[in-house]
Amino acid sequence: MNGESPEYDVFLSYARADNRDNNRYVEQLVDTMTSVYRQKNGRELRVFLDLREISTAQMWEREIYGALRRSSVMISVLSPAYFTSLWCGREWDGFIRVSQERSIVYGITPYLKLIFPVTLRDWSRIGQGSPEVQRRIREARALQYVDFAEVPPQTDEFTGLVRHLAEDVADVLGKLAEVAPGHAAWPDEGLTASPGSPMITTRRAHDHHQFVRVLADAINVTIVGVTNENLADFLSEALRRKRRRLGAGAFWESLRIVFLREDLLDLVNDHLGAQRPGSRETFGERKLRAKAGKRAVVSFLIRQNQPARWKLHEYEYYLPFLGALFGMPDGTNLVQITMPRPRQSVSDALYFEFVDLADQYFANAFDAVVADSREENEVVLVGAPDDAGAFHVNGARFRRSALTDGGSAQEWLPSVAVATWSVRNGAPIPMLQIRTERNAAQYIHHLSHVTGYVDEGDLVPARDDEAGRRGQPSVLLPEIATRNAARRELRDQVNLLAGDSQLNFYTACRFNNFDRENLFFYVFTLQLPAVHRFPAEAEIRGWRISGLISLHQYQVLGKAERLLRHDELSSAQRGDAARILAWQLTLHGRRELGERLVRAVRRRAPTLADQLRKIAEPYAVRLRLAGRETILRGLAEIHYREFFSTMLPLYAQVGMADAAAAMARLGQVDGADEALAGLVEAYADDDRLSSVPFEV
């Protein structure tokens, strides 16, 4: 693909053996990438790919190095053969030198990457080589690379990886067109520039690709923002890139995120003030966005199970700047900073990007902001319920470390669930939340009412004698604390201020977790106002009782299919799980199918598993979330387990005729009483539940 044009978008650096001995893998990579790039950008990607065997240094200097200098970026196909190749080493060193020169002349920061490594074969175990080889390996490890190892060409996975690579290359080519408009004709000779020239680039905040790219490469990160409402999405994409390169357990060594203190949001002069006539309304909207941003960030971080590596802070004063500080693998600190104009959206702000000064002026400034902030640590209560239904508090723990992998299944967390309902067309209907990655840490794409945990702050209004006994080994949890928790979750999640008289206590129930802390739920009911604006991220919707019953049945059938396909359970585990699911199937009028399941788990039964999948298909609930079709997985926590014993009777009690009719039909189902009693006993048996490695 030797173009006649004197300049190229991409220089392809590879070991000839990797192409020759792997069915022209490198050529297939280039063909796919140029095709993807053409479809996406409407023009050809100009790639320099030399297929000849280089035989002399003169040929390399005259032809290859000349093409390298006239290329905008380099893609290096990494493998053991690459790092031991003399010519590949020269190309790597040559482009490192070229990119450094361009950084000085054009003000391109080192982290607008001009080298894109891709892994063809695992090179992490290369033995001791020359100092030059070891240096190149260190340089490659400091860069974000795409892992093609063991991914055959002409597969969906291969095309997907190429698409990501082509998008990254297109982003950088576009950035080069902004900061170095003459880059299409890079000089052939050595560049001259003053080493003291400032290395500053700019970007608009809505162009987030550079932020995500640097975030993926960084080791230590500090982010300072007002509402950080889109930050969770950027963190997710950056971590996906980081793990694609470093493995499934990769995370930042340190991640500090600073929000502006809530009551100071009234002082912000942004675009919301230009859109709304009243300052109170503007303040309310800004608070909604800050709460949604914080909830999305916390939910994302909790799911990563890295509680010791991240912290959230609230800044106690008005923020002096917005931006991020990135500690990079080579030891430098990269700064992205902005000061938005008055009445301007942060998404329109101009960010300046540069490497910190030698005296670490900006790193010290970010550290000072963190030092003057209050660390946010929700502290949830821990204890155990007694047989009378009361909860005894005997300790506390940080929310970030609760309900994570490796948690203690012997501890209990007091929790609340508020069964909200509203009157539509003269009839009451339940209002439930779709749990998404932006509003929940567990049970993503499941339905639930508003739920949360009782934390230490909820104890504040308790009587002095109750609050004063918190230091003792065991304290009875006061009722007011559970109501405070319910009101707090309603305020934070759905922007609703509920009076104490509006919350009606319904029952308390246990939720034995199979692999982490157990939950003791205080269940309340609340009628929502006829007109209420829910935050978009809350995903609160009205649901028909028939729809909830269908979703529950879909969930039970899916769990039964999973059980039949699970190869690593003992016969006792399979038997316990099958009996629980058979009782659930009985409540859906499928007692015979439940009995077949119990018999089938004694041996492999792929035919029944296939039948269960077909039976479940009509009950799947499909809807659009964030612009994509999503299939709901079921109901969360007690909403699934206690659906027939708690949720349906609750709905009937508040006047839902469909729920009352469903309860009446349940009374006519053969074996329903036995099934309900069996489920109550089974779900209270912690030993039985913890023996099965997934929830039934």
Query: Does residue 513 sit in helix, strand or coil?
Result: coil
What single-letter amino acid sits at 561? E
Q: What is the pLDDT of residue 126?
A: 73
Q: Say if residue 9's pLDDT is above 80.
A: yes
CATH of 8-195, one of 3.40.50.10140, 3.20.20.220, 1.25.40.10, 3.40.50.1820: 3.40.50.10140
pLDDT digits (tens, 9 = 90+) for 199-208: 677 777 777 8
- How far is residue 285's CA from residue 278's CA, in Å, rounded to a whole number? 11
Q: 695 or 275, which is more confident?
A: 695
| Dihedral angle sign, alpha carbons of residues 599, 601, 602, 606 | positive
Least confident span in 338-342, 575-579, 656-660: 338-342
Q: Which of these ranges, 109-118, 302-311, 608-617, 655-664, has the smallest mean pLDDT?
A: 109-118
CATH T-level fold of 202-376: Endonuclease; Chain A (3.30.870)
Instruction: Map residue 427 onto helix, strand or coil.
Output: strand
Mean pLDDT over 156-179 rounds to: 85
Closest of 540, 527, 522, 483 to residue 651, by C-alpha = 527
Residue 463 has pLDDT above 60, yes or no: no
pLDDT score of 179 more than 90: no
Residue the block writes with tokens 């700019």: 202
**Residue 2 scores a pLDDT above 50:** no
628 pLDDT above the threshold of 90: no
What is the pLDDT at residue 471?
A: 46
Sign of CA dihedral 471, 476, 481, 485: positive
Tell me which of 378 and 182 has the higher pLDDT: 378
Range from 164-168, 626-630, 657-661 that averages highest in pLDDT: 657-661
Predicted confidence at residue 70, as pLDDT, reads 85
Assigned token pair, 286: 């800004």
Q: What percent of the chain has pLDDT over 90?
A: 44
Mean pLDDT across 534-560: 94
The ranges assigned to domains in the chain are 8-195, 202-376, 379-542, 545-690
* Choice among 280-289, 421-430, 606-615, 675-684 with the minimum mean pLDDT: 280-289
pLDDT digits (tens, 9 = 90+) for 82-130: 988 888 888 898 888 888 777 766 666 666 678 899 988 888 777 667 8
- 106 vs 213, more confident: 213
Question: Across residues 212-232, what is the average pLDDT?
Answer: 91
Q: For 243-258, what is each residue's pLDDT tens digit?
A: 887 888 899 999 999 9
pLDDT digits (tens, 9 = 90+) for 314-342: 998 988 999 999 998 877 888 999 888 88
How many CA atoms within 13 Å lie on the side-chain side of 504? 11
Q: Check residue 54 and give its pLDDT.
A: 54
Three-state DSSP at 541 gives strand
The answer regarding whether domain 379-542 maps to CATH 3.90.79.10 reads yes
Q: Tell whether the model's pLDDT for residue 647 goes beyond 90.
A: yes
581-594: pLDDT as tens digits: 999 999 999 999 99
Q: What is the CA radius of gyration of the chain?
A: 30
Whether the per-residue pLDDT at 610 is higher than 70: the answer is: yes
HSE, CB side, 13 Å, CA atoms: give it for residue 2: 7
DSSP 28-93: HHHHHHHHHHHHHHSS---EE---S----HHHIIIIIHHHHHTEEEEEEEESHHHHH-HHHHHHHH
Average pLDDT, the chain: 85
Of 86 and 179, the one with more pLDDT: 86
Mean pLDDT to the nearest integer, 352-362:
85
Among the ranges given (15-24, 308-317, 668-677), the one the predictor scored with the smallest mean pLDDT: 15-24
227 vs 515: which has the higher pLDDT: 227
